A and B are shown apart, each in its own frame.
Chain A
Amino acid sequence: MSDETRKKIAESRWLNWLDKRFRLKDYIVESMEHPVKPWMRKWYYCLGGLTLTMFILLVITGIILLQHYEPTTAGAAESLAFIMGDVWMGWLIRGIHHWAANLMMFLVVAHMVRVFITGAYKNPRELNWITGVFLLLTTAGFYLTGYILPWDQRGFELAQRTLELVRKVPLVGNPLAYLVTSEKIAGDEALHFFYMSHVIILPLVLFILLLFHFVMIRRQGIADPL
């Protein structure tokens, strides 16, 4: 894009309109002109962005699934069968949600490895790395709770065994498991907890963490190669 066009955009009416209300013009113009170095234009520097893409896909398909999913032990598997068989394009929506989740898990690890290999966690990006580890844990949390939701044998077993593992932790284990469910064998209470985590708690946590992550990236820029 020529400097001329860029200038035109900077002086455009809509940007000025926005600027009067939000004082964003300088930020937008600066961002547009922000130089991207040649070594940043490699595929492995896109892994973070790709993780975000998967997350966006997951949010969109997740909202559609939410419309039909029933978070009860009696109705979960049936509602999934309904989604697969009766909801228009339901099979595809669920397929996309499933594969995007797997890819997100894969990509977030690949992104972390990229950051690790390029040493991008070094001063002053330590805090962003730590935010990243929390992002990794949150993504894993999504993965775990998501697998439980169909409440097929595997989902049930995963819920049951997760609770059993938590109970085994000395001192705090039992009270923690009790927060999730008072039942010995995972049932509706547990399913509700995992459901709530999957659709409310974890998305909120992830949004907040991503906000920190991106603000820091914006402020610090991408790290120079070592």
Chain B
Amino acid sequence: MSDPQALAEQFDDLGQQRHAAELGMWIFLATEALFFGGLLLGYAVYRHLYPEAWFAAARETEILIGTANTAILLTSSLTMWLAVRAGEEGRRDAVTLALGLTATLGAFFLGLKAYEYYLDWDNSLVPGLRFAFEKADPEHAEIFYYLYFFLTGVHAVHLTVAITAVLVVLFLVRTGRLAYQQSATLTVLGLYWHLVDVVWIFLYPLIYLPGRSQ
């Protein structure tokens, strides 16, 4: 049943190819963990050094948008999983529908995020370019916002890549150019999408929740 188109010449069979693709993605996710790990280390150090400024700064984040975005991204992981499931069963229409929903939810997230950045700009919370802060030591609050932009920015880059990848796969599936049932493409795409989601699950409490209880 192996579709000749699906098998690259360096592999012996589809099983080997699937295994390679999935292992490759898992390893890539490990490097991603260290990309973010280095940044989170920086976060931990400064939060430990400057707790007061940290909490004051975090209280000024847009928690409503952050929470809404968390819900959106979690839902998108569900639709992504549905796409993978439908792929295994060979239901092309269901795959395209689920991928379409996933990409849309991702785009929603980015839209809201952009709006949030706009509000931050309005509130003079953009380090280096436009920053004014009265509630605590501004220098240290600025470090918080620097890390906030850096972390969410890197995350947004990842999400953009993920959305693009989803759209490409969607197109290939729709036009019948991808042996999606045999190849590991959907599984691998799903893994990447879930990573982007999981990273956000770490970012949400670190960015939006500190200092809220006071």
Mutual binders A and B: no
